[in-house]
Amino acid sequence: MALLEVQNLKKYFKTPRGILHAVDDVTFSLEEGKTLGVVGESGCGKSTLGRTILHLLDSTGGKIFFKGEDITVVSRNKLGELREDMQIIFQDPFSSLNPRFSVSQTIREPLELRGRLSKAEMEEEVDRLMEVVGLAPRLRNSYPHELDGGRRQRIGIARALALKPKFIVCDEPVSALDVSIQAQILNLMLDLQEKNGLTYMFVTHDLSVVKYISDEIAVMYLGQMVEKCESDRLFERPIHPYTQALLSAIPIPDIHAQNKRILLKGEITSPINPKPGCRFAARCAYATEKCREPQELREWEPGHFVACCRAEEVSA
């Protein structure tokens, strides 16, 4: 049974100019212990998707199942329980930590809120968590502004782990960090996954990061999931024209390599009051009349889902 299942999830925002379809009809399921990478350009709704699943935003439509249970609408008490199982690691370690809380205060807070441990047990648990994420004990009473980005992100990870969750949404956890520190944090996250059997939903726009960490990858474009399959397969054989263009943008570190970059023409379509058809059609080299109709995410090959009516022609 899948740990997390999302069916036709929708999140719309009302704006003065119309309804913004941030997440539109997204369906996927995620097995326990796996990592789903969610990629897409800025503003495609990948962060909103993660936040909606965690109930940090209310969903507009669709269903969310966690451990087989429908959690689309939950009471406040139930939400408290859910938050022990589902956590989030934020993108920017500079704004995701309260500047007036010391390291130990930040990590202790989720424990305090659940109120299961005595004071002494909490202190021990904070020590343990700091060790797990690789923070030196001497940093206990430091404040975030005294630490570098990598250490701050470790605090964020420790806070997310404090409640022993099963599922963690990682919202671009390394994109604000230096490249050298990115690798450390990614390795830490992989270690933690292995030790605790964590399930990740890894939101990012960094394709090399997503390839390194994901079992499966979902590609989003303007609120919709356009392609989803196993990580290796996506890089070998992308089907959707958008995925092809996206992957062709990865620089190849070889001076003799023939760079067959697919350059997209046109502007990104507005997500406000979008037309029913394929949202990528306006920029797609393969677009035809049929693309004006709504596109279904269909199983192109076992385990490989594509939302493109011209997948046959494109892949030929």
Q: Which residues bind another protein (CB under 8 A)?
A: 51, 54, 56, 79-80, 83, 87-88, 90-92, 95-100, 102, 109-110, 113, 118-119, 143, 145, 156, 159, 162-163
- The β-bridge relationship of strands 4-15 and 61-66 is antiparallel
Nearest CB to another protein, comparing residues 168 and 284: 168
Would you say 44 or 107 has its CB closer to another protein? Answer: 107
Minimum CB distance to another protein, residue 48 (Å): 12
Distance in Å, CB of 87 to another protein, minimum: 6
Residue 39 or 168 having the CB closest to another protein: 168
Cβ at position 43, least distance to another protein in Å: 18
Q: Tell me which residue of 13, 87, 76, 94 sits closest to 51, measured CA to CA.
A: 87
CB of 75 to another protein, least distance (A): 12
Q: Which is nearer to another protein, 151 or 159 (CB)?
A: 159
| Residue whose CB is less far from another protein, 139 or 287 | 139
Q: How far does Cα 282 stand from its chain's mean position?
A: 26
| Antiparallel, parallel or unpaired: β 199-204 and 167-171 | parallel
Q: From the CB of 119, what's the least distance to another protein, in Å?
A: 5
